[in-house]
Amino acid sequence: MAVIHHTTLKPTKLELLTSWLPTRPWYEGGPGEPELTKAGGFRLDDPEGEVGMEFMVVTDASGAAATAYLVPLTYRGAPLDGAEHALVGTMEHGVLGRRWAYDGCHDPVLVAQLTALIEGRAQAQAQSLSDTPDQEVSRSCTGDGAIPRDFATATDDREGTELSAPPHGVTLRLHRVLRPAPDGPLALPPGTTGHVAGAWDMPDGTRVRGVFAALHTDVRP
């Protein structure tokens, strides 16, 4: 299990995201600087114990209405080869030293563990506590066989990021702009064969849930 260090970060995660979020095509904020608040999220463990993984939810109050974003991040002790385009920034960690923070959709370790979570082979962990499962995270997998590991591309659009595995007819979509689900059973998008859902706080303190990631399988002949 990953150990959570309660220490200093320079710059902080929110400071890094303040610069990075406006560069994303799915960012909906106003013309000024984002006004970010940490609103929720969870962690996944790296079986090798090398890469930190966090699915952070932040709320931005800079636009006409507050918007919640899902930001999967990986934290590494050295640069990830070939991932310069996915670098969010670097931080100085009070215990671990220099850390490279990446958009986790482009990090193969996070993608592998996210698919393991969907399949039920990995457990979501609390964001700020060591060795504590996050009971608010739900998942499902109704497809046949294992989920592919070789997602070849990660493409951003106005709502999220889509990871594609063309030879298998499988896509994994991360909902970057989060929409609270109505009360009652979680409604999944048509064609969903797996999902991850979680909770976050609205600006008024209300706790809401929504879909974080959805797996789709092309069943056409």
DSSP state of 199: E
Q: What are the strands, taking DSSP E only, across the chain?
A: 9-10, 36-44, 52-60, 67-76, 87-93, 97-103, 138-141, 153-156, 160-165, 170-175, 177-178, 192-201, 207-217
CA distances from 207 to 183, 198, 203 (A): 11, 10, 9
- Predicted pLDDT at 7: 66
- Full-model pTM: 0.92
Quick one: pLDDT at residue 130?
80
SS3 114: helix
10-32 mean pLDDT = 93
Mean pLDDT (whole number) for 80-85:
95
Q: What are the structure tokens assigned to 14, written together?
A: 């929110």
Residue 3's pLDDT band (cuts 50, 70, 90): low
- At residue 93, the pLDDT reads 79
